[in-house]
Amino acid sequence: MFTFAIHDFSRRADLSELMDEPCSRETLRACLRDLARVNHWFLGYRPVLDWLDGLHCPPGNGPLRILDVGCGYGDGLRRIELWARRRGILVELTGIDLNPDTIAIAAEATPAGSAIHWVTANVFDYKSQEQAHLVVSSLFTHHLRDQEVVRFVEWMERNVQIGWFINDLSRAAVPCHLFRWFARAVRLHPFVRHDGPVSFQRAFVAHDWRRMCAAAGLAPGKYDVLAYKPARLCVSRRKLG
């Protein structure tokens, strides 16, 4: 159904993803469900949860306000809610996404007992009554242009108290081609089979992050670029604590 050109992984691809284009809510729901399955199979939640554990948040000193930008299906934020419950940490969780259909799908996939708040908004226009302690994002930044990533880092620096964590892919040929084979083998949604390899081609490498963080005013040593297997490249920043 889709064809792929040979890509030079030394640079970001200027390609679009099908899920970034208008589609029916039913199609979007099916894609987001498959992406959640991929996150589960390939340990996609581990980087954020490891980082949260490393903050050593004490139980009973809540609520810890966490904002998930580009929350998608909401599966990452639901895992954070479970993480907090198991540790006795009081949290206020907010998921924000630009697409109202995505927010509706995330809300309907969330158990009735959950206290997660779902918001449709552009992050750069988002205002909250109380500043977030932590901001996280997963598989979000590769959808942005370089200058938009710089703006996002600057926004987080202004709007977060304790720290932020970006969880995304690493631009590399081998995981890209392996995912293409895997997605076809397990019959993931056609959009996911197309968008997965494109996401790898649009992702960043470590020197991209160092350049963009510098452009956002962050000096070396003020943030960490962290590689996780399989094929994740994350950026963390701890401002306080």
> What percent of the chain has pLDDT above 70?
97
Residue 73 has what pLDDT?
A: 98
| CA quadruple 134, 135, 137, 142: dihedral sign | negative
- Give the angle subtended at the CA of 156 by the CAs of 151 and 160, to the nearest 5°: 165
Taking 70 as the threshold, does the pLDDT of residue 5 lie above it?
A: no
Type of residue found at 219:
A
Segment 71-86 shows an average pLDDT of 97
Taking 80 as the threshold, does the pLDDT of residue 21 lie above it?
A: yes
235, 220 contact by CB (below 8 A)? no
User: What is the rounded distance in angstroms from the CA atom of residue 216 to the CA atom of residue 147?
Assistant: 9
| CA quadruple 143, 146, 151, 153: dihedral sign | positive
Question: What confidence tier does 241 reach under pLDDT thresholds 50, 70, 90?
Answer: low
Residue 35 has what pLDDT?
A: 97
Is the model's pTM score more than 0.75?
yes
79, 45 contact by CB (below 8 A)? yes
- pLDDT tens sequence across 138-190: 999 999 999 999 999 999 999 999 999 999 999 999 999 999 999 999 999 99
Taking 90 as the threshold, does the pLDDT of residue 62 lie above it?
A: no
Residue 4 has what pLDDT?
A: 45
CB contact set of 39 (below 8 Å; sequence gap of 6+)? 45, 75, 76, 138
- Give the angle subtended at the CA of 43 by the CAs of 112 and 67, to the nearest 5°: 50
Residue 142 has what pLDDT?
A: 98
User: What is the rounded distance in angstroms from the CA atom of residue 152 to the CA atom of residue 141?
Assistant: 9
- pLDDT tens sequence across 178-229: 999 999 999 999 999 999 999 999 999 999 999 999 999 999 999 999 999 9
Q: Which of 12, 37, 40, 32 is nearest to 191 (CA)?
A: 32
The full set of domains in the chain, from first to last, is 43-171+204-238 (3.40.50.150)
Residue 144 has what pLDDT?
A: 97
